Amino acid sequence: MLKLISLELKRNNFRTYVMASLITFLILLVFTYFVAYVAQVESGAYEIQFHNYTNIFRFTGTISLIIFSIMSAVIYSRLIISEYKGKRVALLFSYPISRRKILLAKLLLVVMFTSISMLICTSIPYIVFSITESISPIVLQDVMSKEIVISTLQMLAMAILAVGGIGIVSMRIGFIKKSIPTTLITAFILSATYGNAVISTNHVLSGLFICGIGIIVTVFIMTELSNKVDEMEVE
């Protein structure tokens, strides 16, 4: 399986997605400071919500979730939807390798890339912001604590799981119509809906429940799509 994943990396140029991840990192870093600063200089009801670190981190995490969900959908569109239609599928099916293994390698590659990228690009802005806050704080109404750190890590872990599920669900919906726009639109709607749910609730169990349902749906889709690809005929 690792050899198949390595071959997929060689066949597809991931440099563009690496650059996109680096740009996302800079956006999230700047955005975190921007939200914290605006909340201090403005006195509206909306800005007061960001007078604490938990909401600042949660909002930044939601932006990260949406960006990486869309990025996941873009990569799936290139690696799966584009390759399993037209003349490309004939070449793909000519390989002396199990169709299921090829599909699984593609799925694992996208999940691994987006998960690692999201972890790095989201956690580093959190760390940098936390360090500078301990030296010269922008947020004066709150104090960084161990509970906030643990809560933020839990939120990030659930967001990474959510991105994996959102990407696969979006890909499957786009795969039905062989439509890349459908895949991207679905990813945006699902990520925005999940992000809004995360912002609206502070309960960890609610997030875990949503992620649990997402994992079950994801496993079902992966199994169903593997069977579908295994029975496909070259058009």
Phi, psi of 43 (to 5 degrees): -120, 20
What residues contact residue 2 under an 8 Å CB cut-off, 6+ apart? Answer: none
Provide mean pLDDT across the span 129-154: 85
The predicted pLDDT at position 39 comes to 76
Helix ranges restricted to H, the chain:
2-11, 15-41, 45-48, 53-76, 88-93, 99-135, 146-177, 180-200, 204-231
If one counts the domains in the chain, the total is 1
Of 75-89, 98-112, 160-174, the range with the highest mean pLDDT is 160-174
User: Is a pLDDT exceeding 60 seen at residue 233?
Assistant: no
**Distance between CA atoms of 46 and 60, rounded to whole angstroms?**
15
Confidence grade of residue 25 (pLDDT, cut at 50, 70, 90): very high
The dihedral built from the CA positions of residue 74, 76, 79 and 85, taken in this order, carries a sign that is negative
DSSP for residue 232: -
Q: Pick the range with the lowest mean pLDDT from 36-40, 112-116, 194-198.
A: 194-198
Cα dihedral: 142, 25, 64, 4 (round 10): -140
User: Is a pLDDT exceeding 70 seen at residue 45?
Assistant: no
What residues contact residue 172 under an 8 Å CB cut-off, 6+ apart? Answer: 221, 224, 225
pTM of the model: 0.87
Q: Which domain holds residue 202?
A: 2-231
**Distance between CA atoms of 163 and 171, rounded to whole angstroms?**
12
Provide mean pLDDT across the span 13-30: 92
Helix ranges restricted to H, 14-98:
15-41, 45-48, 53-76, 88-93
Q: Is 6 helix (H, G, I), strand (E, B) or coil?
A: helix
